[in-house]
Amino acid sequence: MPNETINSTTIEDTFAEAFSMRYTRLIVTALDEYWLMAALREFCGFGSSVIQCDAEVGIERFLSASNTMDGRVGAALLIFGFNDQKLASAVQKRTGQSLMTCPTTAVFNGLFETETRITLGDHLRFFGDGFQKSKSIDERRFWRIPVMDGEFLIEDQVGVADGIGGGNFLVQSRDQASGLAAVRRSTNVIDELPGVITPFPGGVVRSGSKVGSRYKGLPASTSDRFCPSLRGRVDSQLHPEANCVYEIVIDGDNFDSISTAMSCGIHAAASPDVVAISAGNYGGKLGKHHFQLTQVVREYED
């Protein structure tokens, strides 16, 4: 396919390569927005990439009091890991250290359309030291764990399903200011979409990586072909007028969710100061899910 053009931005004829993951959805509620945000910041911390983090984590959407089980403000979190065991470990530790510790919070299962479950409250209940109590509501089991401001209510188990991690696109701009403005527009649009998260800081990656390194034991290293300072020293893939590159990485509950997010994000980013939009791939050798950029943007326009 030939390159596409949107608002003077070249959409390169390449593909984003993503890989299969497992994910769960937690619904977190709190007394008010202040304590909800405090809990979310802690839970999502150090949750950008499974290269080093225990999980990839982000806020899928915020929920009004009328849309939560306990009638309080809340949010849906998506958590991605490579397998159920690693995902369960990450969710249990993050919930115990970041949600149970936060004043007024409660935690509910947000993924019912799968029969696979991992334990959550059933694991954390032991913190109650024998004083914990179980409660069943509409065939859902919860634990009431005594804490110093009352009780921490948490669902016994949460659902797990197949997801996709690593959908991405690279915003190549004339300068840093225009690149930052472009990715802000893009992530603002993506944040409104269901079924996806952008797990990196502000939804954006400045240190894009490639697989492997010249240093033994390092699984990933800088994406030198997209580093402006290395132009002329490596086989650069930068647009001739690009002096800054930012990557947006998207995890999602299915292929279509990521494709839609990429489409919306690319269209939002495109502008005269964004000279090209590309994507990261490894020749199709890393992940089986391929998002062809020109096809993605055409589907959005249709």
pLDDT digits (tens, 9 = 90+) for 217-244: 899 999 999 999 999 999 999 999 999 9
pLDDT for residue 1: 62
Mean pLDDT of the chain: 96
Is residue 215 over pLDDT 80?
Answer: yes
Does this model's pTM top 0.85? My answer is yes
Mean pLDDT score, 260-267? 98
- What counts of helices (H) and strands (E) characterise the chain? 6, 18
Mean pLDDT score, 163-173? 97
Read off φ and ψ for residue 290, nearest 5 degrees: -115, 125
pLDDT for residue 263: 97
| Tokens at 297, concatenated | 């943007």
Which region holds residue 156: left if phi is over 0, alpha if psi is between -120 and 50, else beta? alpha
Q: Which domains does the chain have, with CATH numbers?
A: 4-18+163-301 (3.30.70.520), 22-161 (3.30.70.520)
Residue 3 is which amino acid? N
Mean pLDDT score, 171-188? 98
Residue 152 is classified by DSSP as E
Contact 132, 143 (CB under 8 A): yes
Instruction: Kindly report the number of other CB atoms within 10 A of residue 150's CB atom.
Output: 10
**Whole-number Å distance between alpha carbons of 254 and 263:** 15
Contact 180, 45 (CB under 8 A): no
Residue 188 is classified by DSSP as H
